[in-house]
Amino acid sequence: MGIYNVSKHAVVSLTETLYQDLKLVSDQVSASVLCPYFVPTGISQSHRNRPADLADQTPTQSQLIGQAMSDKAVGSGKVTAAQVAQKVFDAIAADQFYIYSHPKALGNVSDRMNAIVGQHNPPDPFAERPEIGIGLRAALRAGAA
């Protein structure tokens, strides 16, 4: 998940910078950033786009577990891509910068920001669903044994 998370944070940072730069030069053009959660878009099956010379690479145990968890999360999602698109149009019309597909996930953002400001270690991403964290740790550690 590291590469995926880094790219998401980079997009947010770049778009924040673009927003600030645009505000310096114009009131007519702005920027917004979409921060999606688990939306069924096919991204969890991105291996289908792998170059032919990499197609034979076998995923690692942790990649397989991560894929299964991602598939489960996406499959249980209640927000469609079409609904997210409508949220984007509505937010842009309202000159809203941050656009969230799942506003309930903002608790995770708040917990992260509080840890940063309070100079604490990163919070447990499975605090609200400990059984998922327990299962993931067990599966990953069993594969490493």
Q: Which of 13-17, 82-86, 103-107, 109-113 has the highest mean pLDDT?
A: 13-17
What gap in Å lies between CA 53 and CA 108, rounded to an integer? Answer: 38
What's the mean per-residue pLDDT of the chain? 85
Dihedral-angle region of residue 95 (phi above 0 means left; psi in -120 to 50 means alpha; beta otherwise): left
Determine, yes or no, domain membership for 12: no
Residue type, 38: F
Q: What is the pLDDT of residue 56?
A: 79
| Type and span of the H or E element at 99 | strand 98-100
* Percent of the chain clearing pLDDT 90 (strictly above): 43
CB-neighbour burial class of residue 35 (10 A; exposed 0-12, middle 13-18, buried 19+): middle
What gap in Å lies between CA 15 and CA 18, rounded to an integer? Answer: 5
Domain residue limits at 36? 32-102
Total count of domains within the chain? 1
Q: What is the pLDDT of residues 1-52, one digit of tens each?
A: 678 889 999 999 999 999 999 999 999 999 999 998 877 666 667 777 778 8
The average pLDDT across 59-84 equals 76
